[in-house]
Amino acid sequence: MNILLLGRGQTGSLVAEVARQRGHNIRVAGAAENAGGSALTAEKLRGIDVVIDFTVPSCVVANIEACVRAGKNMAVGTTGWYGELDRIRKLIESHGTGFVYAANFSVGVNLFFDVARAAAAALRHEYSGQIFERHHVHKKDAPSGTAIAIRRAIREASGKDKSEDLEITSFREGDVVGMHEVVLESPADKIYLCHDAKSRQGFADGAVRAAEWLAGKKGFYDFKDVWREL
C-alpha cells in the first residue's frame, strides 16, 4: 500500500519503520510539512491508499476533515478529540470513506479491555473502582484515551454509570511509555489489574495492521471491535 503518515513523534517514527518492514511505501509529514493542511490536498493525496494519524489533539480533527474531503481512508491513533466523535462518524458515513480509530492500537491493551470488562462485575458486589494511568511528560491529553476507554468498558459491563465509581488519576513522569492500572476495592480485599507497555512497538504494529485491514473498506470502526479479525 501507499501510506501517508502524519506525525514524526516517537510512535509515528516506529509506525513508519513497521510499515516499511511490512512492504509498504510510506511518506511522512510532520507539523512543518502539513502546516495549514498543506500535505492533505487532493493533489498531494493522489495515489495514497490510507492515511495514518499520530499527531496531537489540536490538529487531528482538521486532518480527518481534510482526508474525508479527499476521499481517503484513515487510521487514527491520536486521542483527545473524542468530544467530536459523533460528528466525525456522521461525516465519514456521509462521504463513504473508511475510518478506524483507537484509544490504543496495542493488541495487549485490547486484551486488557476484556479483562477489565470481566472484572467489572465487582462493582455490583460492594467494590469501588479507581483507574490510574502513567505516561511520559510530553503526552498532551490527560486522562489518556486508553484510561477513558477502560472506564467506559467497565461502566458498560457493570451497568453502572456514576463518575464517582471510577475516578481516573493521571501521572506524567519521565519517559513512561504507558501504564494503566485498575484497582477494585471492597471492605474485604483489593483487586489489582495492570497493563504496562514496555515499548511503543505494540502501538505501531497494531496501527499498521489496522491500516492494512481497512484497505478497500468503507465505514466507521473502533479498533477494539475489529482487532480479532487482523
Q: Residue 166: name the closest of 179, 176, 156 by CA.
A: 156
CA dihedral of residues 157, 196, 203, 78 (deg, nearest 10)? 70
pLDDT at 163: 44
Looking at residue 38, the DSSP 8-state letter turns out to be: T
pLDDT at 200: 92
- Judged by DSSP in three states, 42 sits in coil
Scored b (16 or more CB within 10 A) or e, 32-42 reads eebeeeebbee
Q: Residue 73: name the closest of 40, 43, 98 by CA.
A: 98
Helix (H) or strand (E) holding 56: none
- Contact at 8 Å (CB) between 146 and 133? yes
pLDDT tens sequence for the chain (230 residues): 999 999 998 899 999 999 999 999 999 999 999 999 999 999 999 999 999 999 999 999 999 999 999 999 999 999 989 999 999 999 999 999 999 999 899 999 999 999 999 999 999 998 999 999 999 998 888 999 999 999 999 999 998 765 456 899 999 999 999 999 999 999 999 999 999 999 999 999 999 999 999 999 999 999 988 999 98
Report all structural domains of the chain as residue ranges with CATH numbers, in order of start: 2-105+201-229 (3.40.50.720), 107-196 (3.30.360.10)
Going from the C-alpha of 57 to that of each of 68, 119, 123, the distances in angstroms are 17, 31, 32
How far is 195 from 180, CA to CA, in rounded Å?
Answer: 5
Question: DSSP of 128-167, one letter per residue?
Answer: EEEEEEEE-TT---SS-HHHHHHHHHHHHHHT---GGGEE
- What are the catalytic residues? 135, 139
Tracing cell 487514527 back to the chain, one arrives at: 76
Strands (E) located in 31-124: 50-53, 73-76, 98-101
How far is 55 from 9, CA to CA, in rounded Å?
Answer: 8
Neighbours of 90 (CB within 10 A): 11
pLDDT at 162: 58
